[in-house]
Structure 1
C-alpha cells in the first residue's frame, strides 16, 4: 500500500498552489468537485490556481473554491499552449518571482500525465511539492508520499478527488459537478428563450463543434438527428462558440426542419442555462458535455478519438456513444487515415439514446 499523508489536513499548510495548465472548459469543470471538497474541509486555506489567463471567466465561476488565479506564461513541453503564446524567458522569470512572493506551503501538480507540469510545480518555490506522478516519472527522494501515481483508469473528476484523498481529505461519494449561475445568466437566458420562441423542456440542443477536427462528428449526421427530433415535436437549437459558426451553419443548412442557430450568441452562463432547460443535449466530447453535467442536463455525447473512461459522465441523465474502431481512443487532432471512427457512430443510435433520455419511443 502506498504511504498516505494527511498533508491537506495539516494546519501548518495554509497556502496551496494548484498547477492546472489546461485551457479547456471541461478540464476545469472536472477539477472543481475536488476543489470544492478542499474548501469544505479547509476553509482557512488560501488556494491559488496556476493556469492560463484565458480561463479567467471559468475560474471566476469556481466561486470561493479558488482565491486567486496565478497566470501561467507557458513552458516547453506543455501542449495546451494557446496559439501565439510562445514561452518567453523574461515572462517566466516574472511568473516564478510572483509565485515565490506568495510563499506557498504546498504546490500540487494537478495537470495530468506529463512531467513538464511537475517541473513547473517545482519552480514555484513552495515549501512542499507533490501531486500527480506521471507514468514513468520518479518523484524526488523523500517526496514519494506527496505524490500519487497518475490514475489513468479513473474519470477525470475522480482523479482529482483521489489525489486530494491521498493527501488527507476524508473520502466522500462520487464527485459532484457544479456550475454556479448568476442573475445575469438567468436574465440573458430568459431573453434568449423569448427571442427564439423556445420553452423550457421543449427544445433539443445540438453542439457540433469541438476543439479539434477529430472530435467533430460530421454535420450531416447531426442534421439527421436534428430532423428526427424535430419530427418528434422538439424545437432544435444549434450552439457553439464564436469560432464554431461555420460548423453550426453547416448543420442548420443540412437540416430539412428549421433550427435556431445560437452559435456564438450566448455567454458561458447563458449557454449553461440553455443546456439546463433543454430536453436533451446531443454533442461531441467537448466542454458542452461537461457543462451539461454540471447543470444537471440530459446529454448524449459522441466519442470519436476521445477516451470515455476519462471523460464520459455516468448516471441516468447521460449516454455515451463510442466509436467502434480498434484505433480509438487516439491522441490525434487531425485523423491521419480515413476518420473511420466518425463513420462507426450511426445517427440512429445517437437518436435512440436521445429519445430514451427524453422519454420518446420511436
Structure 2
C-alpha cells in the first residue's frame, strides 16, 4: 500500500455499531462560498428568506452543494432554507450548508400543479405553507416539466427560478451550478470539502471507540450498496480488494449498511474476515461523524459515497460508464469505472491500487 496510504487522519434509524463475528447580488465575484454561521442581526430583524426546493435522494441533493454555496454567496444576508426529505435537510443544516430545512412534502406544492384560471396566479392556494408565502426568492430544482407549476410559482414569487432538468451532457453538479451561476468557469471556490463540526466529529469518534477503535489505526469505511443493482459492484469484488489489504497492514474496516442495503451487505458478510465492524443505519449526521475519522472510503455510486467525497475523505467511488455524469464534485475525487455484471480481475487490481493510494 505504500507509505502514507490509509494513514489515520483526521439512512434513518439509530442502531449501534457492532462487530460482525460581497454585494448582495455579486454572483460572479469570487468571494468564499464556505459554510458559515448566519450573520448577526439586530433584535427583531427578520432576514429575507431564500427557499430552495429539492426533493431528490441524498446523492442528488449533495450534488447541489456547489450551487447552494453560490446561492449563499449571491444573497449573503438571506436565510437559506432547504426544502428536502427531512433527514437530508437535517444533515445539511447540521453541516452548515444551509441555515434551516423544512420537509418538502409540508409545503403544499401540489396545489400549484394543474390547469387553473389565470386569476388564480395572483393568490396562494390555502394549503401552501408559510415558507412559500414568506420567501423573497425561490430556487426550484423541481417541477420544470410542468408549465402550469412554473407559471404559477413565478407569478406568486417574482424572484423565483424554476431550473431546467438535468440534460444528457456534462457533470450533473455543474449543470445545477449553472442554473444559479450561469457562465461561471472557475467553480473551485464552491468545490472545497465540507468541514465537519467538532460536535459531529466527536460523536463519530465515540462511536468508533465503542466498536474497538484505538484512535490510531487507519479506518476504512466500505459501502457495498447502491440505489439500484446495476450500480452495485459484486460482493466478490469488494471481498477480493479487502483481502488484499491483509498483506500490507490491515486497517479497521467499517462496513456501512443503510435502510436499502440489506441484500448487498448480506452478500458481502460471509466473505469478510473476522473483526470487521458493521455500522447499521446510523443517522446521517452520525455517519458523517464516523466518516470524518476515515482515512479512506470505498463504495458504489450512491448517496453515501457522495457524502464521503463531500467531506473530503480520500474516496474510491465505483461507477458504470453510463453514470459517470453523477460523479462527485470535489476536485480531488475521480470516479473509477468498473463492470457491475461480473468481477473483472483488471477492475479488482485498479480498485486495489486506487484504494492504496500513490505507490500502492
| TM-score calculated relative to the size of structure 1 | 0.69
> Which residue pairs with 1:175 in the alignment?
190
Cα distance per residue 1:223-269 (max 9 Å; x no partner): 111111233212322112244244324323113x3242323164323
> Which residue pairs with 2:348 in the alignment?
347
Asked if residue 195 in structure 1 is aligned to residue 226 in structure 2, the reply is no
Write the distance in 2 (CA, Å) between the matches of 1:122 and 1:158.
25
> Which residue pairs with 2:120 in the alignment?
none
Cα offset, 1:342, TM superposition:
6.5
Asked if residue 28 in structure 1 is aligned to residue 61 in structure 2, the reply is yes
The question of whether the paired residues in 2 share the 8 Å contact of 1:14 and 1:46 is answered with yes
What's the secondary structure of 1:17's corresponding residue?
strand
What is the correspondence of 1:70-81 to structure 2 with a 5 Å cutoff? 71-72=104-105
Write the distance in 1 (CA, Å) between the matches of 2:86 and 2:162.
22
| Candidates 220, 236, 246, aligned match of 1:204 | 220
RMSD between aligned alpha carbons?
3.7
Between Structure 1 and Structure 2, how many residues are aligned? Answer: 301
The question of whether the paired residues in 2 share the 8 Å contact of 1:29 and 1:178 is answered with no
Cα distance per residue 1:158-207 (max 9 Å; x no partner): 2233222239x996535325445344423332223323333456232221
From the superposition, tell whether residues 127 and 273 of structure 1 become closer, same or farther in structure 2 (CA, over 3 Å): same
> Which residue pairs with 2:258 in the alignment?
241
From the superposition, tell whether residues 123 and 16 of structure 1 become closer, same or farther in structure 2 (CA, over 3 Å): farther
> Which residue pairs with 1:330 in the alignment?
none
| Candidates 304, 309, 319, aligned match of 1:288 | 304
From the superposition, tell whether residues 120 and 231 of structure 1 become closer, same or farther in structure 2 (CA, over 3 Å): farther
Q: Which has the higher contact order (CA 8 A, sep 6+)?
A: 2
Deviates more, 1:202-211 or 1:50-59: 50-59
What's the secondary structure of 1:166's corresponding residue?
coil
| Candidates 241, 255, 258, aligned match of 1:225 | 241
Cα offset, 1:293, TM superposition:
1.8
Cα offset, 1:354, TM superposition:
1.1
> Which residue pairs with 1:37 in the alignment?
70
| Candidates 64, 75, 83, aligned match of 1:50 | 83
Write the distance in 2 (CA, Å) between the matches of 1:264 and 1:120.
40
From the superposition, tell whether residues 295 and 64 of structure 1 become closer, same or farther in structure 2 (CA, over 3 Å): closer
Write the distance in 2 (CA, Å) between the matches of 1:306 and 1:111.
23
Cα distance per residue 1:84-129 (max 9 Å; x no partner): xxxxxxxx96553545532x343333249x514x654544421243
Cα offset, 1:9, TM superposition:
5.3
> Which residue pairs with 2:278 in the alignment?
262
Asked if residue 298 in structure 1 is aligned to residue 314 in structure 2, the reply is yes
From the superposition, tell whether residues 240 and 179 of structure 1 become closer, same or farther in structure 2 (CA, over 3 Å): farther
> Which stretches in structure 2 are left out of the alignment for 5+ residues?
1-22, 28-46, 111-123
> Which residue pairs with 2:36 in the alignment?
none
The question of whether the paired residues in 1 share the 8 Å contact of 2:171 and 2:325 is answered with yes
> Which stretches in structure 1 are left out of the alignment for 5+ residues?
1-5, 77-91, 135-149, 325-338
> Which residue pairs with 2:118 in the alignment?
none
> Which residue pairs with 2:160 in the alignment?
129
Cα distance per residue 1:11-59 (max 9 Å; x no partner): xx9543322121x222222222222232234222243433333533224
> Which residue pairs with 1:145 in the alignment?
none
